Amino acid sequence: MLSTTPRTTLRRAKDRGRTSREDLYAVLDAGLVCHLGVVTGGSPMVVPTGYGRIGDTLYLHGSTGATSLRDADEVCVTVTHVDGVVLARSSFHHSLNYRSAMVFGRARRVEDAEERLAGLRAITEQLAPGQWDATREPTGKELAATMVLALSLAEASVKVRQGPPVDDEEDYGRPIWAGVLPLHQVWGTPEPDPALTWDLAVPEHIASRTMPAAGK
């Protein structure tokens, strides 16, 4: 079960709330970027960034010189998938079909070498499954320049909207088309780096990727 703290309890559209940890994992595991919210100088800042998950911990990384992460104390991480546009009979009831997850917590800077490496591996694998083992591992210098942050999934909420529009009763009789225009994400054809000096086939784990980071 997910948390029921004040900020993870839905006040509106309660029927869109999901409460199982599996729902949370599914939304997080299907994403490529999260939107990381931090407070700097009293103002909010929202930064798109990569992430990875191991069990009930989310990992983020950044340059040790990045201000958005250096100040990270309380953070909010949001992952959103847009699945379609909901076209209602009234402008008021237009909406999106989506899946989104919000995670609240205090980010912990990871110091342990083993956990740092595991976190970075999770972040790379979230972006491109199979690439950690297929490419050169980080050097000591690269590791020193990278900050790894861990965020517990203890306080999180999930919202999902799917299905046709919900119009006002008196609007169903109007001769206005209504429905859903689905939106899909699809991988294109892999584009080899022009600087490739070897005659290499596209690796199977890249060529066969069929959905954007769907599952792990």
- CB nearer to its own copies: give 111 or 191: 191
Range 141-160, binding its own copies (CB under 8 A): 142, 146
The CA–CA distances, whole Å, from 120 to 70, 131, 151 equal: 17, 12, 14
Q: Is 186 in the site for its own copies (CB under 8 A)?
A: yes
Nearest-Å Rg of the Cα atoms of the chain is 20
Q: Is 193 in the site for its own copies (CB under 8 A)?
A: yes
Phi-psi region of 213 (alpha: psi -120 to 50; beta: other; left: phi over 0): left
Total binding residues toward its own copies, as defined by CB under 8 A: 97
Dihedral sign computed on CA atoms, order 185, 216, 160, 77: negative
Q: Are strands 34-40 and 43-49 parallel, antiparallel or unpaired?
A: antiparallel
Q: Per-residue DSSP letters for 139-170?
A: PHHHHHHEEEEEEESSEEEEEEE-SS----GG
Q: Interface with its own copies by CB under 8 A: which range of 14-22, 52-60, 77-85, 108-116?
A: 77-85
Min separation Cβ 130 and its own copies, Å = 10
Min separation Cβ 156 and its own copies, Å = 13
Range 84-123, binding its own copies (CB under 8 A): 84-85, 87-92, 94, 96, 98, 100, 102, 104, 120-121
Q: Is 14 in the site for its own copies (CB under 8 A)?
A: no
Q: Is 198 in the site for its own copies (CB under 8 A)?
A: yes
Q: Is 3 in the site for its own copies (CB under 8 A)?
A: no
- CB nearer to its own copies: give 7 or 216: 7
Residue 9 DSSP one-character state: S
